[in-house]
Structure formats: C-alpha cells, structure tokens
Amino acid sequence: MRHFTRIADLDVTGVAAILDEALAWKKHPPGAHLAGKLLGMVFFNPSLRTRASFEAAMLRGGGNAIVLEVGSGVWKLEDRDGAVMDGDRPEHIREAIPVLGRYVDALAVRTFGALQDDTADAADPVMNAFRELAGVPVISMESAREHPCQGLADLLTIRERFGVTRKLPVTLTWAPHIKPLPKAVPHSFLLTAAAAGCEVRVAHPPGFDLHPAVMAEAQDYARRSGGSVSVTHDRKAALSGSHVVYAKAWGPVTEKAAASEAAARIAAHKDWLITSRTLAAAARDTVFLHCLPVRRNVEVSDEVLDGPASRVIDEAENRFHVQRVLLDKLLEGTAC
Amino acid sequence: MRHFTRIADLDVTGVAAILDEALAWKKHPPGAHLAGKLLGMVFFNPSLRTRASFEAAMLRGGGNAIVLEVGSGVWKLEDRDGAVMDGDRPEHIREAIPVLGRYVDALAVRTFGALQDDTADAADPVMNAFRELAGVPVISMESAREHPCQGLADLLTIRERFGVTRKLPVTLTWAPHIKPLPKAVPHSFLLTAAAAGCEVRVAHPPGFDLHPAVMAEAQDYARRSGGSVSVTHDRKAALSGSHVVYAKAWGPVTEKAAASEAAARIAAHKDWLITSRTLAAAARDTVFLHCLPVRRNVEVSDEVLDGPASRVIDEAENRFHVQRVLLDKLLEGTAC
Amino acid sequence: MRHFTRIADLDVTGVAAILDEALAWKKHPPGAHLAGKLLGMVFFNPSLRTRASFEAAMLRGGGNAIVLEVGSGVWKLEDRDGAVMDGDRPEHIREAIPVLGRYVDALAVRTFGALQDDTADAADPVMNAFRELAGVPVISMESAREHPCQGLADLLTIRERFGVTRKLPVTLTWAPHIKPLPKAVPHSFLLTAAAAGCEVRVAHPPGFDLHPAVMAEAQDYARRSGGSVSVTHDRKAALSGSHVVYAKAWGPVTEKAAASEAAARIAAHKDWLITSRTLAAAARDTVFLHCLPVRRNVEVSDEVLDGPASRVIDEAENRFHVQRVLLDKLLEGTAC
C-alpha cells in the first residue's frame, strides 16, 4: 500500500485485514514497531481526536510526529495551478508538499472540502496533490471526500460488539445541525460498512443525498462483500431491526441549495434530532455511534449520548487502534 | 495519589515528601523514569514556563507529551451540563475529556477562572470535570482555584535558600497590575507555605481578600505543620523580618467589585509597586520571588527583578524539578 | 562554537568545515548523535521548512524539540529595556529567555526585523538578547540580520551540483513582490557564498542595496576565500556566465523609502520577474535557487520553478542536512 486516503486503497479484502489486525493489536500491543519513523502531520483544519490519536499512535509505537498547522504557525498555502500569487497565500502546495516529504517518512493530512460543489469536493484535489507530490506515503486525517480512518474505527467498534458484520443491519441517519457540514464522515461510514458486508440503510431528508460516485462505489463493495446498501427518507423504517444507529449531520446537495440557503434547508428538519425515542425504533441491542464532535441536543440528545447504547468513547478510542495498524503498513519499508 | 490538582491532594506530609524528593533529584537526575509514558497537555489558556517545563519533564524522563490548545488548533469546548449546543463551541467536555483519556497515560490541564465570581472559581468546575471524566490521572497546570505546581516550586526555592521552612517568616504581597488577575497563584503560595510550616503573612489592600475557603484550608495546614497565617493591609508591618517577599497581582473580591469596576479598584493602589525600598523593609537576607510573567515597573521595578535578592529564574527552573517528581508519582502503575 | 546566529560565528574555515561534514552525513547518516538532547524552538514569526527541518533534525538524531510560538500559544514578549509594561505584552524577554534556557540544552530562535530601519535590523537586537541571556547555546532560525542556516543549505546545494565553489560565478538577483520583505536571506546567501569563495554578483534595482555592514563583511570573506563580490543594477550583465541564479525579493533601503512608499518602489520593478528568458542569459548549466516560500508568477514564473534548472526542493532538503551538523556541534558537551 503506497497511500491510504480512501477506502478504495484497501478494497474489501483490505478492510477486513486491517480490522483483524487492529483487534489483535488491541489485545496484544505491538511494542516499538515504529522505532525511528517520523510522521509529518499537516492540518488545514482543526482537530482534537485525530491529532491526539495519530500522535499517540506514532509515539506509543516508538516513532515521532511533527505537527504543522497551516495558516496558524505555518504559512497559508495556495493550491490553484497557474495562480499569480499576489494574495494572502505566500506559498504554493507544489513547493510545500515535496519539501515536507523530504523531512519525514510519511505525511498525514487533514483538509476539508469547500462545501460549494459536491463534485469538486468528491474529486479531492488537495489530497490528490499530496498523493502526487509528497514523494512519501500519504495517509488521510479526513479530506473533502472521505475520512477513512474514522470509517475503520466505526467498523472496529461494531466488530467488537457483534463479532460479525456480514449481513448486520446498520442505519446511517442524518442529524440536524446549525450549519452545513462536510460529507466525508458519512461517505466513509457508508463505504467501510459496505466493504465489511453490512446491510447498510441510509436515512436522510430529501435533498441531502450523498455523492453519486460514492454511492456507486459502496454498491460495488456491497456486491462483493455480501452486503447491501439502501437509501430512504423514512428513518423509522430504516431503523427497524438495526443493530447500529450511526448519526451524523451533513449539508444538502450543493446543486439543490446555494450555500446561502443550506442552513435554512437544514433547519427545516430539526425533528431528525436523535433521541431515546429514535433509538427505540431500532433493535433492542442496538448501539449508538457518532464520530464526534457532537452538538448535544442539536444533533443528539443528552439521554442518548449518556445512555447505555452509546459507544462513542470506545469508537473514538478505536481511531488509535486502526491507525497504528495503518501507519505500520505505510511506514514498512521506508528508510529509517 | 490518583490526581494532583490541589495542595489538598498532598496534604502537609505530602508537600514535605515532594520537596525532599525534588531536592534529591535536582542533585541526582533520575534517568528515563518515564520511559513509555505519554502525557496529554490540554491548554484552555496560554502558557510559556508551564508548557516548556512540563514537556521538558516528560521528554527528559524518557516519555512523551502531546500538546493540545483548545480554541486554537483544537475545537472550543462546551462545559455547561444540559446545554443546547447551538453556539460557537462544537464539542462538549463530556466527550472530549474521556476520549483524550483513552489515548494517553495522564492528562495535564490549564484552565483559568472566569473572574466573575470568586466562589464559582474556587469550586473549580472544569478541573473537577477532568478529575471525574478523564479515566486517567489528572495534574493541574493551573486552574481557577489553584496553581499547585507553582506553589511547590516556590517552596523548593525557599528550601534551597534557607534549608528549613518551619517558622520562617514569609510575606505574600499584593502587587499592582493593569487588570484583574486570577487568585490561583496567591492561593497556592499561601497553601503550600502554610503546609510547609512557614509563618505566612498576607498583605493586600482592603477588598482584595483571598477566598475564605482557601484561607480556612491554609489555617488548617498551619495548625498541623507548626506554621501560621495572618492577614494585614499594612505591608510594611508584614515585611518586617520577612525572609521571603513573594509578589503577585490579583483581582478584587468579586462580591465587592463588579468586573467593570475591578480595574479602577486596582489602579487605586499603584503605590503597592514593589521597589528596592519595599525590600528594604524586610530581613537583610530576604529573597524576592514572583511566579512570572511579571509586568516590569507595573508590578515590580527593574531594580528588584535585576537585583541580588531576586530568585525568580531559579524559581521558574524549579517548576521542572517538582513536576518531574509529581509526574513520576502520577504515572507510576499506569500501563505502558 | 558557543552560538550560531550569523556566518561570522563560523568564518571562512568554519563554513567549509560544515559543508564538508553535511555532505558526508548526507551519504552516511550519523545515527542517534543527539540522544538525550532537548532543543527549545522559539518562534516570533511563522515557519514551515524551518520548523519541520529543525524538528526532524532533532528527532532523527534521537533528541527532542519543544516548539513555542510567541503570541499564539505563548504570551507576547516585551523586548525594550526599562519599559513600563502596561501594554499588551505581559512578559519581558529578560525573564522569558533565561527561564527557557533552564529547561533545554539549546535554544533555536526565529525573529524577523521590524523593517523600519535597516541599521536597527542589522544590529539584531532580539537575537543578541538571546545570545546574552539564554545561558545555553543559541542557533538562529532567521533573525533581522541573517538566516545563516539558509545560506549554508544554499551553498551545500551548489557544492553538490558543481563540486567546487571557489571562483564559481553566482548571481543573487532581486525579485518583485507584493510587499517589502526582510533582507536576512539575501544577506546570508551573500555572506556564505563569499565565504565559500564564489564570484558573487548581486543584481538589484537602484535603492535596494543590502546593508553596508553586511557588504563589508562579505568583501572581507571574499578577500580571504579567493572569491569576489560585485554589485550591479544590470541584471543581464550579472547573469552572463553565472552557474547559479539565486532569486529573492527584499525591500528598499529604509533611508530611501518610508515604509509607506516601499510597496510602490517595489511595484516599479515588476520586470525583474524571473522567467525562462532571464535564465537564458546565464550559463547553459545554470541552476535556479530560491529559499522558499516563493510567490509564483510574482517573483518567479511557473516555467522556471517547474523547469529542469530548478533545485529549490533539494535546497530545502539541505536545510535538514546542514542543521543536523550545526546542532551536533552546538549540543556537544552540554549536559544530558
């Protein structure tokens, strides 16, 4: 594996292999498997879990990490080809990326989409520039299109609770918010759950469709993994018999809603708040997942987050466990 | 010791034990006593000495530290229970704290008080949320109520100079400033000096009392340590025979001064500036201490800070020496 | 070597020795030569390459680094002697510098000039305060007067390409920009190239002279190294036969242009943009260098940066290679 910035880099068999190894290492930690390795972490957007869990994975593995926050301690970066750089961005990624690649053994990158055009975001231009220019392996800490480490942590949490994921009914439900959020997390849960063979049900209000290219990719994984993917606007129907309720806020389809109207379109569906009544429509042993951060009582009520079905803290811990496996694979064979 | 966020976690005997060990380790460094240990450092407020001295203590001990600045590279955090989170704080400490606790062996936290209500600050809500929710040991890098590592560093500096602290006359004197500052540092010097058996004299203008609960706690320590605590508005009387002059600015009692009036109340006492004449009223061998940062010629004159009585740089160095002992005790027995 | 903040700390023989060792270590990395060493990195201004390359040098050498960003996670610092500190800078460098020196084995510092007075900047007050007050070795990550690690990385890149630097014709050419930039980088290229014996040609528009004290220092190095230094406003003449084209934007002489007029003076010379036609005036085997960040199509055209003559990424990589040698020399003999 050269890079890991999308579930397609693993495919169906790779997802299963990473989850197997993460489960094994969670029981028997691997020791200093990253000794002498150096990870460069580049943040175009802020982070809590991602930053702490990646740094912890490097440091506990005996390696080290350098944290660079673009636009804070570090220059803002231009990413448009051919730009006459007379604005507020004094450096181009065509220099910044290969330079950083010379100092480290791999680069981890966080970059959000612009949320102006779903198709532009799904094309993932900044992350793909890193793949092209870094000269070292690149791992995603969330990009415009996907957040694949989150998807793997989600599925690890499900594996731990239910043992098998094949044919397991799981529901990804849209949740309200105060503003449009990226689709990277729902994309990655969908893709990873489909690759893991789940019966994935996606429930959202009209006009909040996930990107067609991602949907098609998920259908392909489901076909080959023994899973399935379906979409509905009827959340209650989706929840029936679901063993997992995965809540996430995301913005409307950009073609259907100018950025200025997006907030209003979201506000029209406050009744999609996840409460204990929502969970009651799912299977009795259902677990509740959310990638965090979560806006309490806007997306999800206190009673769900603090209740017995919630696995959100375990889910966040599992970021660490999948990432140490991924970093091990990426850094294998790089020079010390 | 499960947590260390207040002098009460050590009590009289614990304070003496930490100082003894810090003196011993300052002469004979302990080597890689923190090998394999990982500290998460969470800053709600900025820091120089604290950050550098904690990181240095972990790294020189063979361990590692992750630095997270809330509201800068990291999301702003909500801390009110039951909040409908529709404002500018996208994550709640009820998620953030336990998640961070999953990645590290201990958490170090800096959080200032709101300075609107002394009693609310003395109740230390954010720090106590960390104690409750972290799942790993918590150490204070200053909170609304106390800055206990500073208090220990202060007393270590006094021990080094005078050998014994029992019955030693020391004066904690209020100093002018351009704005109200928290009471955590004077609280901690008072508590630690009382626990170390000093004859503590607190001098401040009327209306600048330290919190009654902290005063009562200090009186209790003094009773059991052979020390004493007295308060006066007559600084010159307090200084007579004092071997330590400890200067610090802090805000007025919140009940007595609305936040809007606090600055004016402070400005009325510019004559409390510490100068060489102030020091002349103390014992001939007196040493001058201040926790830093210090506003030169507003709190303390250049001649005092640059003069022979000043021990402020040694005092700051001693942060490192007490913290390495505390981190050792906190991390003992945590999993590698 | 006690400190390294200017080429004068190395002199002619020292420059050659560092380049020799950096070439050797680039082929045969030195292993954990910095084990147990701790570097404090203090940034008054932002950084990408510098921060990543210094951290990488410490970590790959088996040491560690603490990163402190003044004015962001760290207090703003006052540097005026005798100041009544009633403004927005709560701490003085007279405390901050020696305190930091107590926690680490060496300090690395980045501080830009104020760009209001060339002579004040060339006197390098903040960096010299670090030299005076740190109590540990100090290394420059760029200051008001020089960026000596950049100069050494530049010359290492030239050594790698051409083998010898003595009598090698190289041109330092001014480049356009949207605003006045510091002169530290052109100063350091000039000084290092002169110390390495190059035939240095400086080309800039009238009114953009480098500082006379730096010019005189460069002439002295050239005299002793067998090199030469000349200045011209005729770039084409300078380029003739040059094997290196080194481009950099900098501001006008402050005596000749009030800060408010500086941008207009720069804008008058947009024709100094470096394009492939510019390079065609140099030797056929010429290489193109720039310290980065570079504003594409303002300073240098895309075709040059992406073309075969460019060595800017290698040049940035070489920051790492010269710095690991310098850090080794500085930290030799400091306590573990």
The alpha-carbon radius of gyration of chain C (Å, integer) is 19
* Per-residue pLDDT at C259 exceeds 90: no
Query: Cα-flanking dihedrals φ and ψ of residue A10, to 5°?
Result: -105, -40
Q: Which residue of C has its CA nearest to A94?
A: C306
Q: What's the pLDDT at C221? A: 98
Which of A75, A86, A92, A99 to probe the C interface (max C CBs under 10 A)? A99
pTM across the whole model = 0.94
ipTM of the complex: 0.92
**SS (HEC) of B14-72:** HHHHHHHHHHHHHHCCCCCCCCCCEEEEEECCCCCHHHHHHHHHHHHCCCEEEEEEECC
CA dihedral sign of residues A40, A44, A50, A51: positive
* Per-residue pLDDT at B282 exceeds 70: yes
What gap in Å lies between CA B29 and CA A228, rounded to an integer? 61
- How far is residue B24 CA from its own chain's centroid? 22
Q: For strand C244-248 and strand B77-78, is the pairing parallel, antiparallel, or unpaired?
A: unpaired
Q: Is the CB of A102 less than 8 angstroms away from the CB of C293?
A: no
Q: Write down which chains contact chain C via at least 3 CB pairs under 8 A.
A: A, B
Does residue B292 come out as left (phi exceeding 0), alpha (psi in the -120 to 50 range) or beta? left
Could you report the per-residue pLDDT of B42-51, keeping only the tens digit for each?
998 878 899 9
Strands (E), chain B: 38-43, 64-69, 77-78, 91-92, 106-110, 138-140, 169-174, 199-203, 228-232, 244-248, 287-289
Residue B59: its chain C contacts at CB < 8 A?
A: 38, 64, 66
Could you report the per-residue pLDDT of A36-54, keeping only the tens digit for each?
999 999 998 878 899 999 9
Summarize the confidence of residues A110-118 as an average pLDDT: 91
DSSP B77: E
Q: What's the pLDDT at B62? A: 97
Contact of A24 with chain C, judged by CB distance below 8 Å, is answered with no
Could you report the per-residue pLDDT of C103-161, keeping only the tens digit for each?
999 999 999 988 889 999 999 999 999 999 999 999 999 999 999 999 999 999 999 99
DSSP B209: P
Which percentage of chain A shows pLDDT scores above 90? Answer: 85
* Per-residue pLDDT at A122 exceeds 80: yes
Q: What's the pLDDT at B54? A: 98
Which tokens is A261 given?
């109207």
What gap in Å lies between CA B63 and CA C150, rounded to an integer? 32
- Give the one of C83, C85, C99 whose C-beta lies nearest to B49's C-beta: C99
Question: Residue A260 — very low, low, confident or very high, per pLDDT cuts 50/70/90?
Answer: confident
Does residue A308 or residue C68 have the better pLDDT? A308
What gap in Å lies between CA B42 and CA B39, rounded to an integer? 10
Contacts of residue C36, defined as CB under 8 A and 6 or more positions apart, other chains included, come to B60, C62, C63, C336
Q: Is the CB of C90 less than 8 angstroms away from the CB of B49?
A: no
What gap in Å lies between CA B203 and CA A181, rounded to an integer? 54
Question: Residue A336 — very low, low, confident or very high, per pLDDT cuts 50/70/90?
Answer: very low
**Strand pairing partners for A275?**
none
Name the average pLDDT for chain A.
Answer: 94
Q: Are C226 and C293 contacting, i.e. CB atoms less than 8 angstroms apart?
A: no
Q: Is the CB of B66 less than 8 angstroms away from the CB of A46?
A: no
Interior/surface letters A44-68, b for 16+ CB within 10 angstroms, e for the rest: bbbbbbbbbbbbbbbbbbebbbbbb
Contact of A84 with chain C, judged by CB distance below 8 Å, is answered with yes
Q: What is the nearest CA distance from A50 to chain C, expressed in angstroms? A: 20
Which of C103, C104, C334 to probe the B interface (max B CBs under 10 A)? C103
Q: What's the pLDDT at A244? A: 98
DSSP B231: E
Contact of A83 with chain C, judged by CB distance below 8 Å, is answered with yes
Q: Which residue of C has its CA nearest to A67?
A: C52
Task: Note which residues in 93-152 of chain B have CB less than 8 A from chain C.
Answer: none
Contacts of residue A289, defined as CB under 8 A and 6 or more positions apart, other chains included, come to A154, A157, A158, A244, A245, A246, A247, A311, A312, A315
What gap in Å lies between CA B130 and CA B46, rounded to an integer? 18
Does residue B156 or residue C73 have the better pLDDT? B156
Interior/surface letters B85-96, b for 16+ CB within 10 angstroms, e for the rest: beeebbbbbbbb
Contacts of residue A255, defined as CB under 8 A and 6 or more positions apart, other chains included, come to A118
Maximum C-alpha span of chain C: 60
Name the average pLDDT for chain B.
Answer: 94
Residue B317: its chain C contacts at CB < 8 A?
A: 99, 102-103
Q: What's the pLDDT at B71? A: 64
Residue A295: its chain B contacts at CB < 8 A?
A: 85-86, 90
Summarize the confidence of residues B44-64 as an average pLDDT: 94
Q: Are B294 and B312 contacting, i.e. CB atoms less than 8 angstroms apart?
A: yes
Contact of A332 with chain C, judged by CB distance below 8 Å, is answered with no
What gap in Å lies between CA C172 and CA C181, rounded to an integer? 15
Q: For strand A244-248 and strand A228-232, is the pairing parallel, antiparallel, or unpaired?
A: unpaired
Please state, in angstroms and as integers, the Cα–Cα distance from residue A167 to each residue in A191, A280, A330, following that order: 15, 21, 30
Maximum C-alpha span of chain A: 60
* Per-residue pLDDT at C303 exceeds 90: yes
Q: Which residue of B has its CA nearest to C97?
A: B313
- Set out the domains of chain A in order of their start, with CATH numbers: 7-146+319-331 (3.40.50.1370), 149-315 (3.40.50.1370)
Cβ atoms < 10 Å from Cβ of C223: 13
Which amino acid type is present at position B240?
A: S
What gap in Å lies between CA A59 and CA B38, rounded to an integer? 8
* Per-residue pLDDT at B260 exceeds 80: no
DSSP string, A122-186: HH-HHHHHHHHH-SS-EEES--SS--HHHHHHHHHHHHHHHS--TT-EEEEEE---SS---SHHH
Q: What's the pLDDT at A75? A: 63
Q: What's the pLDDT at C45? A: 84
Does residue A81 or residue B135 have the better pLDDT? B135
Which amino acid type is present at position B62?
A: G
* Per-residue pLDDT at C230 exceeds 80: yes
Contact of A88 with chain C, judged by CB distance below 8 Å, is answered with no
Q: Is the CB of B103 less than 8 angstroms away from the CB of A312?
A: no
Nearest to A166 by CA among A219, A222, A215: A222
Of the listed ranges A257-266, A313-322, C177-186, the least confidently predicted one is A257-266
Q: What's the pLDDT at C75? A: 63
Q: Counting one residue from B and one from C, how many pairs have CB atoms under 8 Å apart?
A: 87
- Give the one of A74, A85, A102 whose C-beta lies nearest to C298's C-beta: A85
Residue C66: its chain B contacts at CB < 8 A?
A: 51-52, 55-56, 59
Q: Would you tell me the crossing angle of helices A212-225 and A11-27 to the nearest 10 degrees?
A: 70
Task: Note which residues in 153-212 of chain A have CB less than 8 A from chain C.
Answer: none
- Only one residue has tokens 């008080």, namely B113
Summarize the confidence of residues B249-266 as an average pLDDT: 85
* Per-residue pLDDT at A267 exceeds 80: yes
Contact of A296 with chain B, judged by CB distance below 8 Å, is answered with yes
Q: Is the CB of C313 less than 8 angstroms away from the CB of A98?
A: yes
Which amino acid type is present at position C140?
A: S
Q: Which residue of A has its CA nearest to B73?
A: A46
Which amino acid type is present at position C284?
A: R
**SS (HEC) of chain C:** CCCECCHHHCHHHHHHHHHHHHHHHHHCCCCCCCCCCEEEEEECCCCCHHHHHHHHHHHHCCCEEEEEEECCCECCEECCCCCCCCCCCCEEHHHHHHHHHHHCCEEEEECCCCCCCHHHHHHCHHHHHHHHHCCCCEEECCCCCCCHHHHHHHHHHHHHHHCCCCCCEEEEEECCCCCCCCCHHHHHHHHHHHHCCCEEEEECCCCCCCCHHHHHHHHHHHHHHCCEEEEECCHHHHHCCCCEEEEECCCCCCCCCCHHHHHHHHHCCHHHCECHHHHHCCCCCCEEECCCCCCECCCECHHHHCCCCECHHHHHHHHHHHHHHHHHHHHCCCCC
Which tokens is A329 given?
């694979």
- Only one residue has tokens 């800053």, namely B43
Residue C73: its chain B contacts at CB < 8 A?
A: 43, 46-47, 51, 67, 69, 72
Residue B96: its chain A contacts at CB < 8 A?
A: 48, 293
Q: What's the pLDDT at C90? A: 87
Summarize the confidence of residues C29-57 as an average pLDDT: 94
Query: Cα-flanking dihedrals φ and ψ of residue C106, to 5°?
Result: -160, 155
Query: Cα-flanking dihedrals φ and ψ of residue B317, to 5°?
Result: -60, -35
* Per-residue pLDDT at A284 exceeds 90: yes
Q: What's the pLDDT at C336? A: 44
The alpha-carbon radius of gyration of chain B (Å, integer) is 19
Q: Is the CB of A66 less than 8 angstroms away from the CB of C47?
A: no
Nearest to C185 by CA among C138, C150, C230: C150
Q: Which residue of B has its CA nearest to C135?
A: B313
- Give the one of C52, C293, C295 whose C-beta lies nearest to A100's C-beta: C52
Which of A60, A110, A185 to probe the B interface (max B CBs under 10 A)? A60
Which of C102, C104, C107 to probe the B interface (max B CBs under 10 A)? C102
Question: Residue A268 — very low, low, confident or very high, per pLDDT cuts 50/70/90?
Answer: very high
Q: What's the pLDDT at A320? A: 98
Contact of B52 with chain C, judged by CB distance below 8 Å, is answered with yes
Task: Note which residues in 63-82 of chain B have CB less than 8 A from chain C.
Answer: 67, 69, 72
DSSP string, A182-232: -SHHHHHHHHHHHHTT-EEEEE--TT-PPPHHHHHHHHHHHHHHT-EEEEE
Q: Is the CB of A38 less than 8 angstroms away from the CB of C48?
A: no
Residue A72: its chain C contacts at CB < 8 A?
A: 46, 72
Q: Would you tell me the crossing angle of helices B11-27 and B148-162 to the nearest 10 degrees?
A: 60
Residue B99: its chain A contacts at CB < 8 A?
A: 48-49, 52, 292, 313, 316-317
Residue A317: its chain B contacts at CB < 8 A?
A: 99, 102-103
Residue A296: its chain B contacts at CB < 8 A?
A: 78, 83-85, 92, 94
Q: What is the nearest CA distance from B216 to chain A, expressed in angstroms? A: 37
Q: Is the CB of C68 less than 8 angstroms away from the CB of B51?
A: yes
Q: What's the pLDDT at A257? A: 66
Of the listed ranges A65-79, B223-237, B287-301, C165-179, the least confidently predicted one is A65-79
Q: What's the pLDDT at C73? A: 55
* Per-residue pLDDT at B264 exceeds 50: yes
Q: Write down which chains contact chain B via at least 3 CB pairs under 8 A.
A: A, C
CA dihedral sign of residues B236, B237, B240, B243: negative
Q: Which helix (H) or strand (E) holds B120?
A: helix B118-123
Contacts of residue A173, defined as CB under 8 A and 6 or more positions apart, other chains included, come to A203, A204, A235, A238, A239, A245, A246, A247, A248, A272, A274, A278
- Give the one of B36, B38, B83 whose C-beta lies nearest to A56's C-beta: B38
Q: What is the nearest CA distance from A118 to chain C, expressed in angstroms? A: 29
